[in-house]
């Protein structure tokens, strides 16, 4: 069961901010929002996660709406190496040991 919806693909100019949206309108109160990415032929890589507050790390920022029904992953200065499939996943903090369920994700192409 897909708990998130994302656009199939997006383009972004190199050096610009990439804003990747995700809808999770049925999210529960104890479910976190996670973002992973998968660069071609590699295993998925963790980017960031959050519950309610906006989060920032060295890779990206995560903006979660107040009602938590949607979020946006922001890559502030996209580079060609950020070209990848980006997955938005919701997962309960109670589900210890449960695997992450991956949807189709958004294919981001960073263009020179």
List residues near another protein by CB under 8 A. Answer: 32, 34, 41-46, 49, 87, 93, 96-97, 99-105
Least separation in angstroms between residue 52's CB and another protein is 15
For the record, the structure tokens of 22 come out as 């995700």
Least separation in angstroms between residue 41's CB and another protein is 7
- Give whichever of 43 and 112 is closer to another protein, judged by the CB atom: 43
- Give whichever of 79 and 92 is closer to another protein, judged by the CB atom: 92
For the record, the structure tokens of 35 come out as 């973002």
- Give whichever of 41 and 67 is closer to another protein, judged by the CB atom: 41
Least separation in angstroms between residue 85's CB and another protein is 8
The DSSP element (H or E) to which 109 belongs, if any, is strand 106-111
Q: How far apart are CA 60 and CA 35, in angstroms?
A: 10
Least separation in angstroms between residue 100's CB and another protein is 5
- Give whichever of 14 and 55 is closer to another protein, judged by the CB atom: 55
User: Which H, E and C letters describe 9-62, residue by residue?
Assistant: EEEEECCCCEEEEEECCCCCCCEEEEEEEECCCCCCEEEEEECCCCEECCCCEE
């Amino acid at each position: 069961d897909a708990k998130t919806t994302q656009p199939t693909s997006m383009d972004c100019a190199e050096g610009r901010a990439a804003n990747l949206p995700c809808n999770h309108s049925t999210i529960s109160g104890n479910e976190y929002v996670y973002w992973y990415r998968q660069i071609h032929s590699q295993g998925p890589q963790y980017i960031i996660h959050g519950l309610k507050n906006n989060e920032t790390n060295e890779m990206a920022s995560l903006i979660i709406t107040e009602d938590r029904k949607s979020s946006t992953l922001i890559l502030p200065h996209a580079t060609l190496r950020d070209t990848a499939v980006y997955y938005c996943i919701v997962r309960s903090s109670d589900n210890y040991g449960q695997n992450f369920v991956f949807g189709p994700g958004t294919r981001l192409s960073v263009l020179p």
